[in-house]
Amino acid sequence: MRSLSQKSTGMWIIAALVVLLLILHQDNWFWTDDTLVFGFMPIGLFWHACISIGASLTWALATVIAWPLDDAVTAEPETKSEEAAS
């Protein structure tokens, strides 16, 4: 199980990634660019696709760091017969 300081550091990393994604989402530099990526996709659309992938990876990382499964949640519940035997 992770210590509180490791979990707190992870939360700060997630917060920093979210802020970075918010800043990068403002793609003013591609508004007038007619460049095509892969010969068919406008670069602005490609940029937003990459931002979406980054956001999904950040969310996956956040679920691992912020809401990890601990032993209490994953442990098998005791049955009544085991409780009676104790």
Distance of CA 47 to the CA centre of its chain: 18
Cα-atom radius of gyration of the chain, to the nearest Å? 22
Q: In whole angstroms, what is the distance from residue 26 CA to residue 65 CA?
A: 27
What are the tens digits of pLDDT across the range 54-84? 999 999 999 888 776 554 455 566 666 666 6
DSSP type of residue 34:
-
What are the tens digits of pLDDT across the range 19-49? 999 999 988 888 888 999 999 999 999 999 9
Tokens found for residue 75: 């442990």
The reported pTM is 0.66
**26: buried, middle or exposed (CB in 10 Å: 19+, 13-18, 0-12)?**
exposed
